[in-house]
Amino acid sequence: MPVLYGAMRSRATRNVWLANEIGLDLQVKPVLQAYRLTDPQAADAPLNTLSPTFLAISPAGAIPVLEDEGFVLAESLAINLYLARKYGGDLGPRDALEEALMEQWALYGATAVESFGIAVLYAYADKREDTPAGAAEIAAAVKSLTRPLKVIDAHLAAHGHIVGGRFSVADINMAEIMRYVSGHPTILQDYPAIAAWLAACQARPAFQKMWAARLAEPA
Ligand SMILES: N[C@@H](CCC(=O)N[C@@H](CS)C(=O)NCC(=O)O)C(=O)O
C-alpha cells in the first residue's frame, strides 16, 4: 500500500483527493510542518519536517512525500501525476500527448499561480488585509495573477477541463492551486469560467471527503 508522509493541512490534500477519486488505499503517515510545533526538536515532539527520521526520507524537509514499493517521490504535483499514471485509469493521461499537457499545466500552476495564491491566502488568513503591508502584498499578488488567471479562464471557457475534455488529475492539481487563490474573497468574480469549474471540482464527493478530513485536523 502506498504511504504518504504529510498532514491534511498541507499540500498533501491534493494527493488525498486523488486517492479518494481512484479509491486507492493511501495510508497517510502524520508528519507535521515544524513551524506548527513549539519545539519541533524536542525528544517527545511528533514526527515533523525537522525530525531526523523524516529528513532521512526527504532531505528537503517538506511534505508531502510518497513511498510506494520502496520508491520515494517528493513534490505533491509530481506525486499526483505518478499516482494517476500508475493507479488512476482515465484520471491519468491516455497517451504521451496528454501526459505532456498534464505536466505543462501542473508546471504552469506551480510557477505562475501557486506562490501568489499562497501569499493572498496567508494575508487573509492572518487578518492582515487591512494593514498597509498586507494590502500591498495582496495587490502585488493579484497583479501577478492577472495574466495566468486570464489564460486559465479562457482555457476553461473553451474546454471545460484542464486536459482531455474530462475530469482528470490535471484538474485536481490546478483546482488545489486555485483553492489558495480563492482565499481572496472577490478575485474569481473576474474569472467566471475558473469560478464555475472550481465549484464543480469541489462539489465532487472525493473532494468533500478530503475536505472533511482536513477540517478534522487541528490547525
Ligand atoms: N513544491 C512542494 C512544496 C512543499 C512544501 O513547501 N510543503 C510545506 C507544507 S504545504 C512544508 O512541508 N513546509 C515545511 C516546513 O515549513 O517545515 C510540493 O508541492 O510538494
How many whole angstroms from 159 Cα to the centroid of ligand 1?
A: 31
* Three-state SS at 66: strand
- pTM listed for this prediction: 0.97
- Report the alpha-carbon distance of residue 168 to residue 185 in Å, rounded: 27
Question: Ligand 1 pocket check: which of 10, 29, 77, 173 to mutate, most ligand atoms within 8 Å of Cβ?
Answer: 10
Cα–ligand 1 centroid distance for 9 (angstroms): 11
- pLDDT, residue 116, reads 98
What is the helix, strand, coil percentage profile of the chain, to 5? 60, 10, 30
Ligand 1 centroid–CA 217 distance in Å is 17
Residue 76 grid cell: 505533491
Quote the mean pLDDT of the chain: 97
Q: What is the pLDDT of residues 52-71, one digit of tens each?
A: 999 999 999 999 999 999 99
Domains assigned to the chain: 3-90 (3.40.30.10), 93-207 (1.20.1050.10)
Residues with CB under 6 A from ligand 1: 10-11, 33-35, 49, 61-64, 75-77
